[in-house]
Structure formats: C-alpha cells, structure tokens
Amino acid sequence: MEAEPSTSGGPQADRLEFVREMRRRFSPKAMLKDDGSIDQDFFKPRRVVLVQAGAPGGPRTKWGAPEREALLKGLEEHGVGKWREIARDFLPGDQWEETQLRTRAARLLGTQSLARYVGWKGSAAEVEEVYERNKAIGAATGCWKGGILVEDDDGTLKKFMEQQQHQQQQPGRMEEQQQQQPGRMEQQQDPGAQPGSMESEEQEL
C-alpha cells in the first residue's frame, strides 16, 4: 500500500484527518498506529499452526464411542436438557453444539421429542431401558421410524400415551374407592338403633 501524503493544512489535510477518524471508528485497533495511519505490519503473514482433526491433542470432530460414553455420563450427572453443562464437564475441548448433543441424546433414548424427559437423569442401563420401552411403544403404534419414536400427523403417539396414563391412574382410583367403602357402610348401619327396635317389637308382642 502507498504511504499517505503529508500535508500541512488545507482541504486535503481535512480530508486525510476525516479518513483517519473513520479508520479509528471502524478498523481493528491492531491495524492502526496511534495517529490513525495504517500499520503495514498488520498485513504481514503470521505463523499458522495447523492441527489435524482427531490428532492427539486436537479437537475431535467425529462422533464415536468415547463421545457416546461421555454423553451417557453427562445424562447421569446433569440430566436431559443440560447440554451446556454436559459439554463443559464431559466433552471439554470438543466442538459439539447443544443441538448436536440434544440429537445424540434423543437417539440414545429412542425418542424424537425430549419434552417429557427434561430434567430426567439415569445411568447407562436406565437409558437403555427407556430406549427399549420407546421401541416397544413404537412397535405397538407404528411410530418407530429409523430407530426412533416419532409422532405422526394423526397424533397416534399422543393418544396412545394418554391412554396409557389413564390406565395407570385407574388402579389408584379403585383403591381409593375400596378404602372409602367401609366407612360408607358404617355410616349406613346404626348399631345402636337395632337393639331399640328389637325391644319395641318384643314389647308389642
């Protein structure tokens, strides 16, 4: 780049000062000298160290068994939804975004939607149990697609889950009714009234 002309005053000096002021406002600080002129050293090539992806000491960019085990530990420690904490504690240095960890966790649990699992924590064995349970639900509803439980346009999965929840609540309601029955029967029977009625009948006889 050409050196800036030196001027002692006049319109050209004003224009140059205006250019320098714009540089101070919008250019990187390392690019300018104290007087606002361009520092040519800024454009000189710098030493660049290339780190091969997957090399020892370099960030991993391919998902594999180590990452899977780390995610399982993160689910057990922090739970579903704590992707930032899982990445910080169990996948340090790796460039895994929260959306990527969420997708991987959904695969492990066998469900497209993680809404009903937010905050859930479990060991690797418990994660496997959830996966098998979702797989069975998918087989029963026809919503198992590509190794994951998905919702269809007819809301089949939602209806099935609501039905399952209703059936699970039924035994509890029946127990409550059975517990309430003895009390109702006691209220209907008045033991003190029976002897009196029998005495009156004997007197009439």
Per residue in 127-148, pLDDT (tens digit) is: 999 999 999 999 999 999 999 9
CATH topology for the 65-149 domain: Serum Albumin; Chain A, Domain 1 (1.10.246)
Per residue in 163-202, pLDDT (tens digit) is: 888 888 776 565 666 666 655 545 555 555 555 544 544 4
Question: Is 51's pLDDT higher than 50?
Answer: no
Task: Measure Cα distances from 158 to 102, 135, 154, 165 in Å.
Answer: 21, 15, 9, 11
CB of 109 closer than 8 Å to CB of 130: yes
Predicted model pTM = 0.56
- Which of 70, 77, 87, 91 has the alpha carbon at shortest distance from 122? 77
Confidence band of 27 (pLDDT split at 50, 70, 90): confident
**11's tokens:** 């319109």
Task: Measure Cα distances from 44 to 31, 40, 50 in Å.
Answer: 11, 7, 18
CATH 1.10.246 occupies which residues in the chain? 65-149
Per residue in 116-129, pLDDT (tens digit) is: 999 999 999 999 99
